[in-house]
Amino acid sequence: MRTEEKLLPRALRGAVVDRHPLWLMRQAGRYLPEYRELRAKAGGFLDLCFTPALATEVTLQPIRRFGFDAAILFSDILVVPWGLNQKVGFQEGEGPKLDPIRDAAGLAALSLDGMIERLAPVYETVGRLKQDLPPETTLIGFAGAPWTVATYMIEGGSSRTFEHSRRFAAEDKVGFETLMALLVEATVAHLDAQVRAGAEVIQLFDSWASALEGEAFERWVVAPAKRIVAALKEKHPKLPIIGFPRASGAHYLGYAKATGVDAVSIDQDMPLAFARDVLQPSVAVQGNLDPLVLVAGGQALETRVRAITDALGRGRFVFNLGHGIVPQTPPEHVAKLVDLVRAIKPARG
Ligand code: CP3
């Protein structure tokens, strides 16, 4: 039996498509009442991530409601530090809390040994999804990129300034390099395990890439992504990889060219003309509706969807947000967005 290539991988490799693939970052989550109900039953957020039956169900919720072209595994970028033996917790309404790593002793306590075994429930979820998803839906696996994951490990949670991370990188180059090398290796192992379990496309989230400039950006954003892409492509030559060096502006082009990703996910601040004229000739582009325009809905939503598809719809393109859905998003606006994007015929020429 010949299996048809699905819409998302088709669009990522630049094939002509009869509609634009659509999925949304954080499409499973608190804006959905069925998520909130299940989350309340699961106990902690990590319990939800590590219980395959529940993580599978949460991944499927937005697919049932909206019929997105891709499902993204329900998990979190912070399962990797947890798998490396760092203490990670999620307090309701407070975001993640980790025991911060600031010195050699903190680094020495981390270990890659046994990580894949500790994260086995995540790969079991991928396997279940492979069985349960509609045949036309692509399964996306993901990981945080080393810099973004390192910021949580060093700061001990979310940060606005990344003070400790940037100081660590500048003051203790050897220590920081040790941590980044460990994270590259852990990320490759974690993504490889997801692909072996059934993930068909991978997204690498570098949400805080914009905190670094110049040489630091090259060294801690571009170089690790390049190593991760090369290692994964060596094992899985046809695997499509989407990179998300969020909000890194003109750095996106160098990132796309140097890392070998198949696509870049662009944030809402990226000018559409830059994405079309500078990025699309080199890579597929995914994005970039402002999550708050989705909250607003109405005419603002229609106008912006049109502007994005008019600008990017002639090239290699995947419709998405510029960053994750926010909890206050009305689910009806998501349904409307799906109708709007589905009604647009790609114009090739
Ligand atoms: O996209 C999806 O639907 C798949 C699941 C997914 C989650 N987190 C679930 C989640 C994905 C892809 C992520 C990635 C992630 N996690 C990133 C990169 C993308 C981005 O948003 O920049 C980052 C930086 C994290 C770390 C993280 N996880 C933070 C800072 C928080 C707290 C903030 C928040 O939104 O609550 C989380 C928790 C988290 N991860 C939730 C979900 C659904 C909310 C937890 C809850 O239900 O209480």
pLDDT tens profile 191-213: 999 999 999 999 999 999 999 99
- The reply to whether 349 falls in a domain is no
Contact 313, 344 (CB under 8 A): yes
Global confidence as pTM: 0.97
- The reply to whether 185 falls in a domain is yes
| 306 C-alpha to ligand 1 centroid (Å) | 28
| 26 C-alpha to ligand 1 centroid (Å) | 7
Catalytic (active site) residue 39: yes
Q: What's the rounded Cα separation, in Å, for the pair 109 and 259?
A: 30
CATH number at 97 reads 3.20.20.210
| 297 C-alpha to ligand 1 centroid (Å) | 23
Residue 180's domain spans which residues? 7-342
| 141 C-alpha to ligand 1 centroid (Å) | 14
> Atom 36, ligand 1: which residue's CA is nearest?
95
Catalytic (active site) residue 76: yes
Q: What's the rounded Cα separation, in Å, for the pair 223 and 17?
A: 33
Contact 97, 156 (CB under 8 A): yes
For residue 349, is pLDDT > 70?
no
**Strand-pair category, 284-289 with 263-265:** parallel
Catalytic (active site) residue 35: no
Q: 26, 63, 159, 207: which to mutate for ligand 1, most atoms within 8 A of CB?
A: 26
- The reply to whether 1 falls in a domain is no
Residues in the ligand 1 pocket, defined by CB under 6 Å: 25-30, 39, 45, 72, 74, 76-78, 90, 95-96, 142, 144, 158, 205, 207, 324
Structure tokens at 209: 């890439």
- The reply to whether 348 falls in a domain is no
- The reply to whether 174 falls in a domain is yes
The ligand 1 atom at the shortest distance from the C-alpha of residue 95 is 32
Total domain count, the chain:
1
Q: Spot the catalytic one: 39, 128, 166, 227.
A: 39
Peptide bond preceding 288 in cis form (omega within 30 of 0) = yes
- The reply to whether 2 falls in a domain is no
pLDDT tens profile 99-154: 999 888 999 999 999 999 999 999 999 999 999 999 999 999 999 999 999 999 99
- The reply to whether 319 falls in a domain is yes
- The reply to whether 252 falls in a domain is yes
For residue 67, is pLDDT > 70?
yes
The pLDDT value recorded for residue 199 is: 98
pLDDT tens profile 242-276: 999 999 999 999 999 999 999 999 999 999 999 99
